[in-house]
Amino acid sequence: MKSTRVAMIVAVAVVLGVGASTAAGSTRSATNVTISVASLIPGSTQQAINQFNAQVAQFEKKNPTIKVKPTQYQWTAPTFAAKLAAGTLPTVFEVPFTDARTLGDHGQLANLTPYFEKLPYHKKYNKAVLAEGTDAKGQIIALPKGAYAQALHYNRALFQQAGLNPNKPPTTWAQIRTDARIITQKTGKPGYVEMAKNDNTAGWILTTLVYALGGRMETGTGTHAKATLDNKYTIQALNMLKTMRWTDNSMGSNFDLGWSDINQAFAAGGVGMYISGSDVYTNLVQAYNVDPSIYGVTTIPLANNKTAGVLGGGTLAAVRPNANKAELAAAMKWISFFYEQPLVSKGQAIRNAKTLVANKQPVGVPALPLFNRKQYELANSWIEPYINVPIGHMKPFLNGIFTQNLIPEPEASTQSVYAALNAVVEAVLTNKSTNVQQMLQQANAQAQAAIKQGS
Amino acid sequence: MTTVDQPREPALPSERGLSRSYPRPRRAPLNWVRGRGLAAFVFLLPLLFVFGAFSWYPIVRTAIMAFQHTNFVQAPTWAGFQNFAAVWHDPQFPIAVRNTIYFAFLALIFGYPIPLIAAVLMSQVRKRRGLYSVLAYLPVVIPPVVGVLLWKTFYDASSQGVFNTILHWVGLGPYPWLQSQQWAMPSLVLYSTWANAGATIIIYLAALIGVNPELYEAASVDGAGLLRKVWHVTLPQIRGVLLVTMILQIIGTAQVFLEPYLFTDGGPVHATLTVMLLIYDYAFGNSLGGDYGMATALSLMLAGFLAVFSLVYWRLTRSWSTA
């Protein structure tokens, strides 16, 4: 009986203890504020983590009342949606251009307008870029982190092994096809690889190809937009892939690669050419320690017509909608410090570059201007002594990108449009007898339904 | 001679079913406390809390959400049966149902007999039976994600892939495995059988130990070989366990998620899209927040179907179970 009583007391104490500790965990100092911020993607190298931590230390030194808790973060459609639903996103997180406006309209991002207007450089923003972070009410709900144009990344070593000149990358789609075939024949490695995973990257890259040929995936805006996935340029792009896959056999044998997978495969030397954002070199270094000598990047070849263009996109920094006033103010300070000031403040740009160089992280990765080209070139001139990326290998891209017609991603239901295209790309790459036209019609109907629903 | 009815103590478990049960006398609250009722209740509290918070509350919330539109930020609105109708009319719904049935069918054809055969063979082995049991159970203790990553290298569609290399030695392949609409689902079933057979083998081995050895001896005297012994002795003797493992396997395969999610993400071209993966896609497939109403509606539909199926299965197989 005695032992039962003792056990009872212990059980009650445990139950009460759980409650007490939960209550204690929710208390917070009134003067200090802690925010969690998106840091690096999982699997980043220790040097990359050190570099990030050094920037956190600099920020905390400048803002002694703010404690910053770095949280590993990688935006992918499913994980973002799960974290959004569960309320487990960090206080400051990143979203692609395609999503911010809709999330803002749904009340899922904090309103940053009052803090934005206090930024000394807020009038310098490129209006088109800023519009990506502005909701239907005109509120600023996210600030740009970076913008990219799609580019063709290639392995210079494989080019050389195949007897191709790495300083003269392909400038037409016909050349891409020929070079891919030669690389496969001479090296045994896939000459051209494409993201074809069912995580919307397949649709994203196909859209890039279609833009480059002159097509568009939709016309109009909002829920009144018309899906045009089954246009002649999409058919042309898919037929081109079909030929490279089944006739040339130059695309390898694995067709379920997503963004991280293809970066990993490229860094491991297993990919001749692939399409991704111009800023992907940062990930290739941070996550996969790519050998700089093999890396080359050029512009995507555009068809010779007026509508052909290069798909551009970007990333924005946003704040959780349930952040309190103190957290919101601290979050904006971090966004300004980490994302924006290196582009507008000479002192911060140099400090940032020095930290990156000290930790062997890339400085000078090709990106697009968030403000204007003049400001972009000025900021680049500040960090010129610290540039450590193989800038010579990037010249084909840097020399050509500002002459290309930059086209934003489909505006209405972007991710749903990409999702509808995933299956078509998968079908072309895994089934020789795919009826492209029929599949595109189905995809178009699916995308149109999503656009109508605004999902 | 007269008899006086005496209040009778409640029937012992062994007596139940043999004699009438009598109403239990009411106990005073003080007696309940003294009789350790309070202690039992206090010990029960953490369990009730854990079950309530992590099992019952989510089930109730799921049932409610199936009739709502919500994004977890704005206030939910009632949707009636709209979510159920949307699921029913979704072109991916019949694909997911068909694929799930296909997976369950393949798993039943290949995945169900293999552990039984392995268990029967292992029960015949006299030496190192423990070692074989450990080897059979090893895949179960390997974390599923690790197992899948391992098998992804096996399934590499290039000629350097593990399976393709082995098959090349005998002049076969290379095969596309996960990269083909025809091969993807059987590939998932193959992995699933490897990953899950160990647990079922252990259950069968335990059941086989319970079979009276005299029955095998009698069968031997009658001139029965191994196959006839298995057919006429083993299977009838463990049929109760067989029926339970079969319903557990059917319920498990109807809820298959891990394999298609980690291996193929439902592809290629929806060839491995299952009902559970569709639920996941409804909820989390769209980075703008997903449709939690449709996800919970389909969850309820699946749960309802499995409940009805289990009931019918139990009714149909009741008479076949061990008497």
Reported ipTM:
0.77
Q: Identify the contact set of chain B against chain A, taking CB-CB distances under 8 A.
A: 36, 38-39, 42-43, 45-46, 49, 71-74, 91, 156-159, 174, 176, 178-181, 264-270, 280, 283-292
SS3 A296: strand
Residues B119, B38: one domain? no
CB A428 within 8 A of CB B268: no
Average pLDDT, chain A: 90
The answer to whether the Cβ–Cβ distance between A427 and B268 falls below 8 Å is yes
Work out whether strand A406-408 and strand A310-319 pair parallel, antiparallel, or are unpaired: parallel
CB B133 within 8 A of CB B198: no
CATH topology of domain A33-147+313-386: D-Maltodextrin-Binding Protein; domain 2 (3.40.190)
CB A273 within 8 A of CB A180: yes
User: How would you label A175-214 residue by residue, b for 16+ Cβ within 10 Å and e otherwise?
Assistant: ebbbbbbbbbeebebbbbbbbbbbbbbbbbbbbbbbbbbb
SS3 B82: helix
The answer to whether the Cβ–Cβ distance between B265 and A199 falls below 8 Å is yes
Q: Which residue of A has its CA nearest to B47?
A: A15
CB-based contact, A6 to chain B, within 8 Å: no
Q: Secondary structure of chain A: what % helix, strand, coil (to 5)?
A: 55, 15, 35
CA distance B87 to B304: 15
Residues B52, B126: one domain? no
Residues B54, B93: one domain? no
Residues B134, B45: one domain? no
CA distance A255 to B267: 10
Domain total for chain B?
2
Residues B155, B252: one domain? yes
Tell me how crowded residue A425 is: count the other CB atoms within 10 A of its CB: 31
Which pLDDT score is estimated for B96? 97
Q: Does the fold of domain A148-311+400-453 match that of domain A33-147+313-386?
A: yes
Cα angle at A100 between A97 and A105, to 5 degrees?
A: 145
Task: Report pTM.
Answer: 0.81
Would you state the torsion angle of the CA atoms of residues B2, B4, B10, B12, taken in this order, to the nearest 10 degrees?
A: -30
Which pLDDT score is estimated for B8? 45
Would B17 be classed as within a structural domain? no
Residues 158-217 of chain A whose Cβ lies under 8 A from any Cβ of chain B:
197-199
CA max distance for chain B: 96
Among residues A46, A99, A44, the alpha carbon closest in space to that of A75 is found at A99
Which pLDDT score is estimated for B1? 39
Task: Profile chain A (455 residues) by mean pLDDT over runs of 10 residues.
Answer: 47 43 41 90 86 93 95 86 86 92 88 94 87 91 93 98 97 97 97 93 97 96 92 97 97 92 96 96 93 97 96 94 94 94 91 88 89 88 94 94 91 90 95 94 94 83
Would you state the torsion angle of the CA atoms of residues A179, A181, A182, A186, taken in this order, to the nearest 10 degrees?
A: 140
Among residues A202, A123, A79, A403, the alpha carbon closest in space to that of B267 is found at A202
CB B243 within 8 A of CB B317: yes
pLDDT tens readout for residues A134-169: 998 999 999 999 999 999 999 999 999 999 999 999
| Residue listed under structure tokens 């239990």 | B24
Domain boundaries, chain A: 33-147+313-386, 148-311+400-453
CA distance B73 to A107: 7
- What the block records as the tokens of A350 is 């140099």
The answer to whether the Cβ–Cβ distance between B292 and A198 falls below 8 Å is no
Residues B260, B182: one domain? yes
CA distance B92 to B81: 19
pLDDT tens readout for residues A254-269: 999 999 999 999 999 9
Min distance A425 CA to chain B CA atoms (Å): 9
Task: Profile chain B (323 residues) by mean pLDDT over runs of 10 residues.
Answer: 44 46 69 82 93 93 94 85 95 96 94 90 83 89 93 92 94 92 96 93 90 91 89 91 92 94 93 96 82 95 96 87 56
Tell me how crowded residue A47 is: count the other CB atoms within 10 A of its CB: 16
Cα angle at A214 between A211 and A220, to 5 degrees?
A: 75
> Domain span at residue B56?
29-65
CA distance B84 to A43: 40
The answer to whether the Cβ–Cβ distance between A106 and B71 falls below 8 Å is yes
**Domain spanning A148-311+400-453: CATH superfamily:** Periplasmic binding protein-like II (3.40.190.10)
The answer to whether the Cβ–Cβ distance between A198 and B266 falls below 8 Å is yes
Q: What is the CATH number of the domain that holds B148?
A: 1.10.3720.10
